[in-house]
A = this chain, B = another copy of it.
Amino acid sequence: MGLTQQQQAYYMGEALKEAQKAAALGEVPIGAVVVVDQQIVGRGFNLRERFEDPSQHAEFQAILAASRMFKTWRLPNAQVFVTIEPCIMCAGLMQQARIQAVYYGAEDYKAGGVHSMYQILEDERLNHQVEVHSGVRSDEAQALMKNFFQAIRKRQKAKKRARKMQAQGDN
């Protein structure tokens, strides 16, 4: 049942490709794939801004795609690969969908529902537990996020400078 390190690295590479699609559209670069029997059966990347939909997280889309493919809400043989630690909503969906395991890259210290803030998937009180694996290609996932937010800050600074120069010109 367990995936080799090589397999894990490969599937996370596919999730990282999805994250790059989000970055190209100006969305927070998070990507995900869902794997069943060593086949990718769902893909997704963050599209919250473009769709103006609070549920359009990468792993949310990938899981619903897998669910549509198999025509069932139960996915007990599915592994989810996602570049950043899932939020509470996405961890809740994984628990609801009876996912077998999640592999994620970097931690989300501010909102993570799997390890950082809550440990929803391993809660023995709930009717289903999901295996949690962390740190898969985390440097690459984190680098994507860092570059994205650095670029935003750079643009904001440039705008501020332009406004300041204009104000000086006006005086």
* Residues of chain A whose beta carbon lies under 8 Å from any beta carbon of chain B: 48-49, 51-56, 60, 63-64, 67-68, 71-75, 87-93, 95-97, 110-111, 113, 117-118, 120, 123, 125-127
Which partner residue on chain B sits nearest A116 by CB separation? B125
A98 to chain B, nearest CB (A): 8
A126 to B110: give the CA distance in the assembly, Å: 7
Query: Contact between A60 and B55 (Cβ–Cβ < 8 Å)?
Result: yes
Q: Other than the known A88-B88, A117-B123, what 15 A-B pairs have Cβ atoms closer than 8 Å?
A: A51-B73, A52-B71, A52-B73, A54-B74, A54-B75, A55-B55, A87-B96, A88-B92, A88-B113, A88-B120, A89-B91, A89-B92, A89-B93, A118-B118, A118-B120
Query: Contact between B54 and A97 (Cβ–Cβ < 8 Å)?
Result: yes
Beyond A111-B126, A120-B88, whether A96 also contacts B60 by CB under 8 A is no
A73 to B50: give the CA distance in the assembly, Å: 10
Query: Contact between B55 and A96 (Cβ–Cβ < 8 Å)?
Result: yes
A106 to chain B, nearest CB (A): 18
Inter-chain contacts of A51 with B (CB < 8 A): 73
Query: Contact between B52 and A67 (Cβ–Cβ < 8 Å)?
Result: yes
A51 to B72: give the CA distance in the assembly, Å: 8
Q: List 25 A-B contacts (CB under 8 A).
A: A49-B73, A52-B72, A53-B64, A54-B64, A54-B73, A54-B96, A55-B60, A56-B73, A87-B92, A87-B96, A88-B88, A88-B92, A88-B120, A89-B91, A89-B92, A89-B93, A89-B95, A89-B96, A90-B92, A92-B92, A110-B126, A111-B126, A117-B126, A118-B118, A118-B120
